[in-house]
């Protein structure tokens, strides 16, 4: 299992809609997340910053993420939520959510 932490900014005008959408996340999107070996997925908000945490239990992350990106319901979901967010300037090329480096963990 690998833990992931990611960051992005939330546009101030998108806050209420982003929260509303995630309070009613579509069942097909949730199923696809599980199908792609992602579990324990949480998103936290502080002011206009979002922090996502999830655990990946598969063996080919790139393949599973590509499978998720091919899903038509997930694409529709992203069409609704992506315009509400603003990627951080220091993200790597190709990232929307910026991956973070884990520096500490304890069980």
Domain ranges of the chain: 2-99
CA neighbor of 99 nearest in space, from 48, 107, 90:
90
At residue 91, the pLDDT reads 96
What CATH topology corresponds to 2-99? Alpha-Beta Plaits (3.30.70)
pLDDT digits (tens, 9 = 90+) for 62-104: 999 999 999 999 999 999 999 999 999 999 999 999 999 999 9
**Calpha distance 39→37 (Å, rounded):** 7
Query: Under a CB-based contact definition with an 8 Å cutoff, are residues 88 and 80 in contact?
Result: no
User: Residues 15-30: what's their mean pLDDT?
Assistant: 97
């Amino acid at each position: 299992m690998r833990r992931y932490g990611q960051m992005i900014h939330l546009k101030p005008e998108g806050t209420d809609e982003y929260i509303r959408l995630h309070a009613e996340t579509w069942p097909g999107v949730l199923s696809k997340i599980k199908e792609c070996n992602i579990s324990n997925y949480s998103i936290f908000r502080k002011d206009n910053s979002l922090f996502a945490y999830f655990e990946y239990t598969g063996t080919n992350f790139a393949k599973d993420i590509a499978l998720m990106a091919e899903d038509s319901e997930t694409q529709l979901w992203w069409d609704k939520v992506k315009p509400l967010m603003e990627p951080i300037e220091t993200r790597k090329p190709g990232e929307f959510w910026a991956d973070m480096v884990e520096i500490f963990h304890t069980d």
